[in-house]
Structure 1
């Protein structure tokens, strides 16, 4: 079981409203529980699957201005409050925007998971508006032909947008993050899952 704790680090003047709206939006992602507001800048949710944790973390990284803590508590009977505390401890007091920290109840080193999210953050930060549109459609389950038709561009132009947006790197990073999170949750390595939108 996992928890994700996110702290807003941006300069939005109406930050409480932005944080509340972000919590509501993140709560609609597949496999994500309800994000709770923890004061003006912090939100937290308990999440069951590695895929949902990865999707949530990538959404926060894409939005920018968030520091993220992930708590991992392997085992069947896990106290949700304990895992929330792990995520909160992972984020720490002096967190920076775009930083992902991971803490496990077992005390294992989770630096490899955090490193994958650093790389994904770099890919996501380099995207243009067109690249975000293209990858969002692919993530939503469309194939390249469908996404190209939706955007009113040729398949070749769609392919170029995806290449420039780092879609292949995102896909590989997503799979690796899921694999590492699953291994941390179960204590055994597993095959990577499928990124939404990959056929």
Structure 2
């Protein structure tokens, strides 16, 4: 599973922007598969949602995280791995290793310095998934930097292009923007749109690989109740200990 937690930056000095964040993720998620538990306010100025570690869920995760980076003012943590089943109706009532890792990730994202992309990814400790999660984070930092630095003119061209459904989207975009097709092409190149679009699927594949649940639902439920597990379920055991620590705070 993939758990995404976003925390408003500087909320003590500003207005509550949680409704704005929920509107952003709802618009981006509309008519797209992959959401397991919809995004909702958890505590204070945080929002959280749960997505499948599938092609659809991972691709949507990348798009949602980058939309929040574009909006600005959000620290975003991504936790990968198992969850305790059955899942409740709302993410704030759910638990499991992926939720604990999302909490760790958003804390790390908060600590990233000004000018850095405030996104962090935390996956299972065992290899190769730990390295895969770190690779996903590195790509999201790269994509986030591109998104954060894109000019208004670049975003206008990108948003218009993405909205087109015909056989010649760039020509249609030029007509909508009332500029030449060459001007649209120049804006897209300056916005690094081709590079952005090429790298997003790679980031999604890494999230999917690191977020796949290593044990069955029954094993995850047993791990939540047991003090120890055998080597086969080691990943779930690590997560269950984290859950216990989180509940004890």
1:99 is aligned, of 112, 118, 121, to 118
| Structure-2 change in CA distance of 1:35 and 1:118 (3 Å) | same
CA-CA distance at 1:10 after TM superposition? 4.3
SS at match of 1:133: helix
Contact 1:74 1:184 in 2 (8 A): no
CA-CA distance at 1:34 after TM superposition? 2.1
Q: Please name the residue that 1:90 is paired with.
A: 105
Q: Which range is displaced more, 125-134 or 88-97?
A: 88-97
Structure 1: 5+ residue runs without aligned partners? 188-199
CA-CA distance at 1:106 after TM superposition? 5.0
Q: Please name the residue that 1:20 is paired with.
A: 19
CA distance in 2, matches of 1:118, 1:46: 21
**TM-score, normalising length from structure 1?**
0.81
Structure 1 residues 79-104: Cα deviation after superposition (integer angstroms, max 9, x where no partner): 55223332112112643463211112
| Structure-2 change in CA distance of 1:163 and 1:91 (3 Å) | same
Q: Please name the residue that 2:244 is paired with.
A: none
Q: Please name the residue that 1:171 is paired with.
A: 197
Q: How many residues align?
A: 186
Contact 2:121 2:134 in 1 (8 A): yes
Contact 1:119 1:173 in 2 (8 A): no
CA distance in 1, matches of 2:180, 2:61: 33
Q: Please name the residue that 1:36 is paired with.
A: 40
CA distance in 2, matches of 1:177, 1:183: 10
**Higher helix share goes to which structure?**
2
| Structure-2 change in CA distance of 1:138 and 1:74 (3 Å) | farther
CA distance in 2, matches of 1:84, 1:138: 36
Q: Please name the residue that 1:6 is paired with.
A: 6
CA-CA distance at 1:184 after TM superposition? 1.5
SS at match of 1:35: strand
User: Does structure 1 residue 124 correspond to structure 2 residue 147?
Assistant: yes
Q: Please name the residue that 2:61 is paired with.
A: 53
1:162 is aligned, of 188, 192, 196, to 188
Structure with higher Rg: it is: 2
CA-CA distance at 1:23 after TM superposition? 1.5
User: Does structure 1 residue 185 correspond to structure 2 residue 211?
Assistant: yes
| Structure-2 change in CA distance of 1:90 and 1:153 (3 Å) | same
Contact 1:102 1:111 in 2 (8 A): yes
